Every structure is written in structure tokens, then in C-alpha cells.
Amino acid sequence: MLRQTPWLERSFNFDFPAGLYPCLLERLRGTPARVEEMVYGIDELLLRRKQDNGWSVKEQIGHFTDLEPLHEGRLDDFIAGKQMLRAADMLNKESHAANHNDRPLEILLQNFRHARMTFVSRLENADDSLVVSTSLHPRLQSLMRMVDMIYFTCEHDDHHLAKIRALIIHPLPS
């Protein structure tokens, strides 16, 4: 099976029509349900297990919540008409320090669902001019529309969902 391309090695094309915005909102809205379905009934030891110095399933889920303030902040940047979007912490210090493995799975899932639905509800109220407004993404050094930022977020969600799936399907031997 092909190995997943590391996130920082990914490149993106933002040449799709802005009319995909409603579909992208559905992807964002659906991520909490997708992760909940994936981890339902999974043994706690498997949820906490790490492979190849990566994050565990619980840490991946916690990372989703850790990034919601960045997404909200970038939405604020678009609303404010900023020329450059705020930068992500590429070291993921918050996720590394959060001890997500020590938290109950139900709390991690609830926190993510709440944060994501708050973000989505703000996006549902965006007018067309905001959806197509542009700002520079600091790491990619590429101009992106707000709809592109939503696509980028969806792709990041799918990146981590694939990591979760791999940890569940191909666990290390006990």
C-alpha cells in the first residue's frame, strides 16, 4: 500500500470554482462524525498506542481541536481583509504538550465536535464576497481565497483521518 505523503510535502492547486463552497462545508461538518464512527468500540490501548514516533489516535483527535482556533483566526483574518493569514505553529507545541492520551475519548470527541460546529456555523453565514476574498497563506506563499482555506482545512482533516484509520487497521503487535 502506498504510504501517505507527509503534510508538509503536499502541494495544493486552488483552481476550482468557488461554487464548491457548500460541498466543502459538508466535508468540514462531517469530520467529527467520521472520526467518531472510526473510533467507536476501539480498545483504549489501541487508541493510545503510537507508531513510528507519530501521534496516537487520541492525539490525532486532540490535534483537530487544537487547530480550531487557527481556523477561526484565519476566518477572522479574511473578515478583517488582512493581506496575510496568521501562521500555524508548525511545531504543533500545543498538541505535543496537551497530554491527549490522558483524556477520556468521549471528552476529546465532544470538544472537537463543539469547536468544529462553532466554526461551521460562522462559515454558514459568510456572504459570497467573503468566500472569494483573498489573502496570502504564510507557509505556502500562495494567494488563497477563503474557499481555498476551507478546502485546505478539509484536506488537513482527511490527512489525519487517514492516519487514524492506518493506526486502527494496522496496529503494532501487542
Q: Where are the domains of the chain?
A: 25-169
pLDDT value of position 8:
80
Residue pair 85/135 in contact (Cβ under 8 Å)? The answer is yes
| Beta carbons within 8 Å of 161's beta carbon, 6+ residues apart | 31, 34, 35, 38
CA distances from residue 5 to 2, 51, 123, 159 in whole angstroms, order as listed = 9, 16, 29, 9
pLDDT value of position 174:
53
- Over the chain (174 residues), the average pLDDT of each successive run of 10 is 82 94 98 97 94 92 97 98 96 90 97 98 96 97 97 97 92 60
pLDDT value of position 90:
87
pLDDT value of position 1:
65
What CATH architecture is 25-169? Up-down Bundle (1.20)
| Beta carbons within 8 Å of 116's beta carbon, 6+ residues apart | 28, 29, 31, 32, 64, 68
